[in-house]
Amino acid sequence: METREVKVNFGASGFNKEGYINVDIRESVNPDVIHDLNIFPYPFADNSVDRIELTHVLEHLEKPFGVMHELHRILKPGGALYIAVPHFSRGFTHAEHEHGFDVSFPYYFRNDLFPEQFYGVQYDLESLQLNWISHITLRYLPQLGVGVVTQYVLKGLNSIITWLANVSPMFCSRIWCFWVGGFEEMEFTFKKPR
State percent of the chain over pLDDT 90. 62
CATH code of 41's domain: 3.40.50.150
Residue 82 within a domain: yes
Q: Is the pLDDT of residue 91 over 70?
A: no
Structure confidence at residue 11 (pLDDT): 93
Residue 62 within a domain: yes
CA distance 104 to 62: 19
The mean pLDDT of 156-168, rounded to a whole number, is 94
Query: Do residues 162 and 131 lie in contact, with contact meaning Cβ atoms separated by under 8 Å?
Result: yes
Total domains present in the chain:
1
- Write the pLDDT tens digit of every residue in 53-67: 999 999 989 999 999
Q: Is the dihedral of CA 193, 123, 56, 155 positive or negative?
A: negative
Residue 123 within a domain: yes
CA distance 70 to 82: 14
Give this prediction's pTM: 0.90
Residue 173 within a domain: no
